[in-house]
Every structure is written in structure tokens, then in C-alpha cells.
Chain A
Amino acid sequence: MSEEKPRILKIAVLRFDPNDKNDFPHMEHFEIEEADGMTLFIVLNEIREHHDNSLMFDFVCRAGICGSCSMLVNGRPTLACRTLTSKLDTNITLAPLPLFKLIKDLSIYSGEWMRYLNEHLETWIHDKEKEQNFDKLEERMEPSLADEIYELDRCVECGCCVAGCGTIQMKPSFVGAVGLNKIARYHLDPRDKRSDEEYYELIGDEDGVFGCMTLLGCEDVCPKDLPLQSKIAYLRRMMVKTALKN
């Protein structure tokens, strides 16, 4: 690629500033000369620095780890920081992730949504036992189980699965794959002492695991390749069992 003339990327960005009463959502176009190893992180910073310094977007780690920069790239939810332009056509359309509150341009308030989700599902270890003594040896855990929990713990709350979810489009109170994955993670964790009935209370309804229409857009777009499909299926079987038992 270094031998050839660099491509000119035509970037279309959906822009809107909700703080500006006179503004309305519109597309703006920028042309950027492609460079070797260029990512959308580099593209957007170049636009901000050399074309329009008011362009809002969110990057933090820029390494695909923190989940801040999810947006629609040519209509598909993904992490912008690790999207190489070389894998895209020269015409690139960028839009903010839908369903979340818009801050401005490509910046969304996903933190508020995720915080509500975590509080609602109580995504922490529930253990009513007496105070633990951290001077003593830690509680043991099967190595393979620790690995399995980590597998589900890898979710970065980027919101791509929410944006890719058909159910949430119609039912905004649905907890989404991100929420169900978290429940699967805690259910697997023996340190969390919640009973099946308590889990049923949390997700045994239309806003939870029975709301999922199994369209599985979530798994298609998950940047961390989490096994969302099988976990949702597993939770559903478990919830049915719990319901029948009671």
C-alpha cells in the first residue's frame, strides 16, 4: 500500500448539538488522505484538529479495551478505535449509537444507561455471610470455573449489543444482552449467594430473558465475541425450570 497513491476517504458524519436550539441533525462530509495503519480514531482526531474542532466523539483507551467509542460505522455498531480504514470502502458513514441519550455528534451518554442497568440488576457479589477476614487464605475456586467467569466478565459495556438489539427498539425497558450476560456471569459465580428465585425476580419477565426475540443481532456485533446466544438460551432454560419448580 505504501507504494501506491493513498486513497482519499470520504467521511460522512451525522452531526447534531442538542444544546443548540437552532441545530438539527444533519450529515457533514470530510475528506481525509488515508495513511498506513489508519484507524477511525486517527481519522476523527484529524478531522477535529484540521477541519472542525467542534466535532464531538469519545475515545479513552483507543486500544479496544474500554468500550467508549462505539458508534455506527456504515450502519453497524462497532468500536471505532480499532476499526482500520483499510478494511472499509472509501465512503464511510459515521453516526452515533442509537437508543442512548445523545450528548453531541458521535458522543453518547452510555454511562448513565449502564449505571442504571447495573443498579437494577444488582451486578455485584451478594453474600450475607459474616464479615470476611482478608488476613486469611482466600476462598478456593476451581481454576476452570474462574476462567469461565472471566470469559463472561470480559464485557466492556460498549453498548453495541444494545444498538444491535431488535427487542430494545420496541421495548426500551428490556435489559439487553449486556444485562443478561451479567446475570449469567453472577449466576455462574459461587461467591454470589443469590438463589434461582432471586434471579427469577430480576429477569424472569418480558424485560428480562423472556423478552428476547432471539434475533441475535447482539452476538453478531459484540466486539468481544461473548457467547451471548448460548448464555441467553441457558438463562431461559434456567428461568423456566425455576418457574415450574415454584
Chain B
Amino acid sequence: MKIVYTDVLIIGGGLAGLRVATGVKERGHDAVILSLVPPKRSHSAAAQGGMQASLANSKMGEGDNEDVHFGDTIRGSDWGADQEVARMFVHCAPKAIRELAAWGVPWSRVQKGDRTAIINAQKVIISEKDDAHGLITARDFGGTKKWRTCYTSDGTGHSMLYAMDNKAHQDKVEIHERMEAISLITDEGRCYGAVARNLMTGELVAYVGKATTVATGGYGRIYSVSTNAIICQGIGQAIALETGIATLGNMEAIQFHPTAIVPVGILTTEGCRGDGGLLLDKDGYRFMPDYEPDKKELASRDVVSRRMTEHIRKGKGVKSRYGDHLWLDITILGREHIEKNLREVKEICENFLGIDPAVSWIPVRPTQHYSMGGIRTKYTGESQTLKGLYSCGEAACWDMHGFNRLGGNSVSETVVAGMLVAEYISDFCDSPESSMHIHSSKIEMALKYERDKLEALLTKQNGEDAYVLRRRMEEIMMDKVGIFRNGKDLQEAVSELEELLKRSKNIEVFRSKSRAANPALVNAYRTQKMLKVALTVAYGALLREESRGAHSREDFPARDDENWLKRTITSWPDENQTMPSVSYEQIPVGNMELPPGFRGYGADMTKHHHETKMRLATVEAVQEKLQKEGATRFEIQNALMPYLDKLPKKYRNINERLGENI
């Protein structure tokens, strides 16, 4: 029986997990990372287009600051986000990106003087300021008022992840590769670590620590086609759910990215459209301006994905044996630009489609991309209900994205949340309440429990085939819990998923009986977990009778703040349940800095909350009064919704910007 003790156990070696690890190390705590793969192979590496931070260095970013980034993020979330968390995030994003610059990320820089760019299909000359030369530059992304997305060509996630992992090497963070956490160890309402399975040898190891952090990314692979890496299966959310204590938030909030290639679903970055690429239909017609005359191709992701789907439904899609698709045209950007700033896209087109995107259009359609939902946490990253359990990055519902995440805000969240949560965890570990009271027999029981479950899978006879169940689940999610949703389909999805979950208790691992490296065994236990996650998504979607952000109900097309300005909270208190328990957490209007309004896409059908009008009047009155008194933007912000006291002291300072006098 192997037990490894540490201070902070981190499950997941992507950007968020690595940043937590280096942060707690700096504060003097030991950290162990468990990772399915070498950290440099994590899904963070696939983030292409960039990281949002309001540096305002480039010409088209002039005037940008935390306030503008905040407004974009909240509107993007369709007011589902936690505004205090979003404030903490936008305030720390510039610090995080500068830190990464110091750690080696070769961010693309501002080149002073004139350059040509494509905006709205026109060639435009942009003159960059002399004093911005050599600072970090930014490109345009959807749903943002300023060019704010900082990048390294279109390999941003790769460069960030490599810098972060190298930093972890430097800090001597212990990383246990190919170790999969298969359950969390809890005792008397406290999390004490995890039982992990070595994917090479099959050995089960208990990792015990004062604090446990789940940073395992999203759950896109419950869908049959997803841009996500194949390891993004929601196992982190599932093991949290299986504690019966931790809760998940807004699991139904699933983002579809407008431009994944057909049929394999590999992403082409939003940077394609940010840099001037267009969406065309079967006639080569640019249709987005008809739907969204203002933002066109650069409307928020959820909006573009819906408009594309609508257009395909009108018969304007390009027919293919893999279903209808549309075209992404980046030929107008020119070869030089593509080979410099969109080279991953070029490689993907060459290798998977056999085309050269400098001369040919790219076949694309909206595809599952991001999980806004996840382990529900406080602003500290700690579970609201399970002490000692933390989560950050895509795995968590922190909740800065609400019902739709802006492009460029995800990698940004990973490092910002990572650096903040590392501080809160360190505070916890420094406090007497972190001392551990778990008896070793409890740890042994947790190990035995998992060993018995695996043994049952291997010895079961005449059972179910995990692949059959999993493929069916993926199809259901794809067909019935997709971009447009309706009550009938969702009800069918929930009923059938519940049936699949019941059947999954009877899974048998056919043929391959090895207890060591055994992909069949892995698929068996993951399928059981994924079905629970899928149910939280489908059931949450069925119950939410409104449309908000990426959750779009054809039978309830309006955003309904009066009844639905709240988060869906799911849990699984009894392991014999076949459906998740659901409750709701109100999102109070009364302390919002940016009261709910109209996002500016399509017709405004919002059913407003009865407090919205009053809050709006209060906010406007405060702004007007303070502006008259000559207050700074910081003072006005603080009067509306103070948040700085929530931040660790070291991150409270004002961010310097070119041309901003503070």
C-alpha cells in the first residue's frame, strides 16, 4: 500500500496546474502534480490565437484598460459571470502576461511605423507608435471592443505551456506523469488528496495532502466531435462529483467554436477572423454582415456559431459526405501573413485537409470547444462545499465566463487563476485549520474501495461493452444537447443517458484483462464517470428554460433574468442515484458593477430582473456624481463594487500602461 504525502496535491499538469504548483512552491509548500501525460503535452498547448490582457500597447488597443476588458467579459458571459471574480481576473491579467514574458514566452511585439492589416475585408494602414516599439502587441478577437489578444504567432498556448513547465522544472516541482486520479479522498467534509492509478503499471497510490487542486481542464469529449484533446473527458469534474460533497456549476454552459475543420473537428483559431478572415457560404457569399451588421465575423463565439447554424439550416451550407459546412476564407490575408501569424493553421490545413489556406478556403463548422461549467468554487478557488478541495482553469466554475467565454480569456484564466489560487491555498496551508486529521485506515479504505471497483470491471462476465455506451453517449450529446436545444430533445437525452448510466454499472472489460497498462480498463472506468458528467450537462440544460449565452433554447428564446439569473448547481450525494441532484445559486443584481443589459446581438428579448432598473439607476448616479467630483476610474470602480480586498496583497497594485497617467 503506497501512500505519498505532500502539502499541495495538484491534479492536472496544464497551465493552471503548473501555475498553482510554482506559486505554492514559492510560498514554501511542497507540491506534487499528477498528470495523465507529460505536462508539455497538455491541452493548454492547443490554444492557438492568444491571451487577453489589457496592455493597450498596440494602436488598435489604445484606450484599453481593465474596465473595458471587464465590460467585454461580462457582456460576453451574458451576465452569467461572477462580476467580482471577473474584476479580479482583468486586474491580474496584465501582471500574469508580464510574468510569463519574464519566464521566456516570446510574445509577438509591436513594430513601430506603418503596417497593413485587413479589417472588414479592406486593406487598412495602421501606424504603430514609436514609444510602443518592442512592447507586447495584440490582435483582434471576437466580442472585444479593443485589440487585446496577445500572441506568439498562433502557437500561444504552446509557448505559454513550455515556459510554465520549464519554470516548474526550475522550481523543482515534483511531477508524476501518467498518473490518473480516479477518486478523491474525503473524511468528515474535508478533502485529503486522491487515489491515483499509474497508467503504465496499474499500481494504485494514495496521495495525501492538506490541499488538493483539480486542474484537469474541460469535458468536451463527452461529445462525439470536439476540438478538445482526447484526454479532456471531464474526469476531474467526475471525481469531484463522486465525493457526494463537492458541487459543479453551470455544467450545461458549453461553448461551440465557429471554425473547426470538417470532419475531424480540429480548431482553426479565432485569430483567422481576428486578422481579417471571412465566413462564406456555398455561393461564396459573406453572410455574417446580414445577421450581425455591427460585429460581423467578430461577434461573440456563441453568436457566430448560432448564425452559422441558422445559415446552414436555410440551405446555404456546402454539402459534403460529412454533413453541411461553411467556408473560412483567409486567402485575403496573403501568404506572408499566414506563414508568419497563422502557421499552425496552415500546417493543420496541409496535413489534415491537403489544402493550402493561402489559396483555398477552409471547410469549417461550429464544434464543441469549451466548458464554461465545472467544479463550483468560491473566489479563492476552494469548493463551496468541500473544504480542502480547490479547482482552477477550465476544470472550475470560478466563475468568470458565465454562459459564454470570450476567445483569449481561457489561457488567460489558467495563469491568472493559477497565480491567485496558489496564494489562497498557501494561506490555507499556513493556517492551523489545514492540519490533517485523517486516520491512515481511512486512506487504506479509499485505496481498497478503488481496487475492488477495478477488480469488478476485470472479472465481470456477460456485461456491457464500454465503447458501445460511450459512443451512444457522445451521439446523444451531439444530436440533442448541441448549439440549439429544445425541451423534447433534452428530455430524450436525459432519459437515455440515465439508462446508459444504469447499464454502465454492468460494464465488463472484454478480452484485455491486464491490470497494468490497459486501455480497455481505462475506457471502462472513464465511461462510467463521463456518463455522470454528461447527465449533469443534459439535465441542467433541460431544466434551464431560457436562452443565455451559449445555452440556446428554441422553445425559450429569451434571456430570462427574473427567473434564471442564477447558477445551476449539481451534485451526486448518493452513489446509487441515477440522476444528479440540482439546486440553484442566485446571482445578485444588487451589487453588480455592470447591471444586466442587452448584449447587442439580434433582437433584444431580455426579460429583465425586477431589481435591474434600480441597480442601473444607482450605478449611473454614483458614476455621474464621482465623475463630477473628478474621481479616477479606480475610485469610481471601487465605489460601485469593491473587490481589491479579496486579492492577495502582492497583486493589488495598479497596472502601468503607456500613456496612462496614474
A91 within 8 A of B: no
The verdict on B338 contacting chain A, using a C-beta distance below 8 Å, is no
> Who on chain A is nearest to B96 by CB?
A134
Q: Which of A70-93 contact B (CB under 8 A)?
A: 82, 84
A-B contact pairs, 29 of them (CB 8 A): A2-B321, A19-B201, A20-B514, A37-B264, A48-B519, A53-B467, A53-B512, A54-B512, A54-B514, A61-B43, A65-B45, A66-B41, A66-B42, A66-B45, A68-B37, A82-B347, A107-B517, A109-B178, A134-B94, A134-B102, A135-B95, A136-B656, A146-B106, A146-B108, A146-B109, A147-B153, A150-B152, A153-B159, A189-B104
Among B37, B109, B321, B523, the residue within 8 A (CB) of A141 is: B109
Near B by CB (< 8 A), chain A positions 108-132 give 109-112, 114-115, 118-119, 122-125, 127, 132
| B516 is an interface residue with CB less than 8 A from chain A | yes
**What is the CA–CA distance of A75 and B520 in the complex, to the nearest angstrom?**
27
Q: How many residues of B contact A (CB 8 A)?
A: 81
Q: Chain A CB within 10 Å — which of B166, B344, B655 has the most?
A: B166
| A192: chain B residues within 8 A (beta carbon) | 104
Stretch of B132-140, B289-297, B539-547, B605-613 on the interface side: B132-140
Interface residues of A in 128-177 (CB under 8 A from B): 132, 134-143, 146-147, 149-150, 153-154, 156-157
**Contact, CB under 8 Å: B38 / A111:** yes
> How far is it, in angstroms, between the C-alpha of A191 and the C-alpha of B177 when the chains are bound?
30
Cβ contact of B111, chosen from A123, A135, A143, cutoff 8 A: A143
* Beta-carbon nearest neighbor of A140 in chain B: B134
Shortest beta-carbon distance from A229 to chain B in Å: 20
Shortest beta-carbon contacts, A-B, top 9:
A111-B38, A140-B134, A54-B512, A19-B516, A53-B520, A149-B106, A82-B351, A143-B109, A124-B166
- Does B445 sit at the interface, judged by CB under 8 A? no
Q: Which residue of A lies closest to B200 (CB)?
A: A103
Whether B285 is near chain A, meaning CB under 8 Å from some CB there, is no
CB distance from B367 to the nearest CB of A (A): 12
Q: Identify the stretch in B167-175, B327-335, B429-437 within 8 Å (CB) of chain A at 4 or more residues.
A: B167-175
Contact B230 A63 (CB under 8 A): no
> Is B511 an interface residue, CB under 8 A from the partner?
yes
Known: A56-B517, A64-B352, A147-B108. 7 other contacts (CB 8 A): A60-B41, A118-B166, A138-B102, A141-B107, A143-B137, A147-B340, A154-B158
Report Cα–Cα, A142/B622, bound state, in Å. 44
Say whether, besides A139-B101, A149-B106, A19 and B514 are in contact (CB < 8 Å).
yes
Task: Tell me if B229 counts as interface (CB < 8 A to partner A).
Answer: yes
**A59 interfacial contact with B, CB 8 Å:** yes
With A125-B103, A140-B109, A150-B153 in contact, do A60 and B231 touch (Cβ < 8 Å)?
yes
Question: Is there a chain B Cβ closer than 8 Å to A202's Cβ?
Answer: no
Residues of B within 8 A of A62 (CB): 229-230, 264, 266
Alpha-carbon distance between A125 and B267 when the two chains are bound, in angstroms: 31
Contact assessment for B134 and A111 in the assembled complex, using a CB-CB cutoff below 8 Å: no
A49 within 8 A of B: yes
Q: Is A17 an interface residue (CB 8 A)?
A: yes
B132-155: which have CB < 8 Å to A? 133-137, 152-153, 155
B460 nearest CB across to chain A (Å): 15
Most buried by B among A60, A63, A115, A139: A63
CB of B615, distance to nearest CB on chain A (Å): 32
Report if A67 contacts B (CB, 8 A): yes
A-B contact count (CB 8 A): 209
A9 to B267, CA, bound (A): 28
A242 within 8 Å of B by Cβ?
A: no
Q: CB < 8 Å: which of B107, B166, B656 contacts A135?
A: B656
Majority-rule SS of A interface residues: loop
B43 and A60 form a contact (CB under 8 A):
yes
Q: How far is the CA of A119 from the CA of B107 in the complex (A)?
A: 24
Q: Are A56 and B103 in contact (CB under 8 A)?
A: no
Do B38 and A115 touch across chains, with their CB atoms under 8 A apart?
Answer: yes
Residues of A within 8 A of B108 (CB): 143, 146-147, 150
How far does the alpha carbon of A25 sit from the alpha carbon of B96 in the complex, in Å?
Answer: 49
A142 contacts across to B, CB distance below 8 A? 109, 134
Contact of A4 with B by CB under 8 A:
no
* Interface residue from B107, B177, B654 paired with A112 (Cβ < 8 Å): B177
User: In the bound complex, do residue A140 and residue B169 qualify as a contact, i.e. CB atoms below 8 Å apart?
Assistant: no
Does B403 sit within 8 A of A, measured CB to CB?
A: no
A227 CB → nearest B CB, Å: 14
Q: B41, B509, B518 — which one has the most chain A CB atoms within 10 A of its CB? A: B41
CA A153 – CA B136 in complex, angstroms?
17
Closest residue on chain A to residue B511 by CB atoms: A53
* Least distance between B74 CB and chain A CB atoms (Å): 24
**A68–B42 alpha-carbon span in the complex (Å):** 10
Residues of A near B134 (CB, < 8 A) are 140-143
Write out the residue numbers on chain B whose beta carbons fall within 8 Å of the beta carbon of A84.
351-352, 354
Nearest B residue (CB) for A225 = B347
A152 to B556, CA, bound (A): 51
**Bound complex: CA A226 to CA B167 (Å):** 23
Q: In the complex, which residues of chain B have a beta carbon less than 8 angstroms from the beta carbon of A236?
A: none
Chain A residues whose C-beta falls within 8 Å of the C-beta of B155 in the assembled complex: 65, 150, 153-154
Indicate if B194 sits at the interface (CB-CB under 8 A): no
A114 to B201: give the CA distance in the assembly, Å: 20
In-complex Cβ contact of B170 among A53, A55, A61, A122 (8 A)? A122
Known: A115-B175, A125-B102, A137-B135. A146 touches B107 (CB 8 A): yes
Within the assembled complex, what's the spacing in Å between the Cα atoms of A53 and B470?
Answer: 14
Contacts of B109 in A (CB 8 A): 140-143, 146
The answer to whether B178 touches A111 (Cβ under 8 A) is yes
* Assembly CA distance A125 to B263 (angstroms): 41
Distance, CA A132 to CA B40, complexed state (A): 26
**Taking the nearest CB of chain B, how far is it from the CB of A199, in angstroms?**
16
Contacts of A59 in B (CB 8 A): 230
A45 to chain B, nearest CB (A): 9
Inter-chain contacts of A115 with B (CB < 8 A): 38, 169, 175, 177
In the complex, the answer to whether B514 meets A111 with C-beta atoms within 8 Å is no
In the bound complex, what is the Cα–Cα distance between A36 and B42 (angstroms)? Answer: 28
Taken together as a complex, chains A and B put the C-alpha atoms of A156 and B511 apart, in Å, by 35
| Contact residues in B for A103 (Cβ distance below 8 Å) | 178, 200, 517
A118 touches B169 (CB 8 A): yes
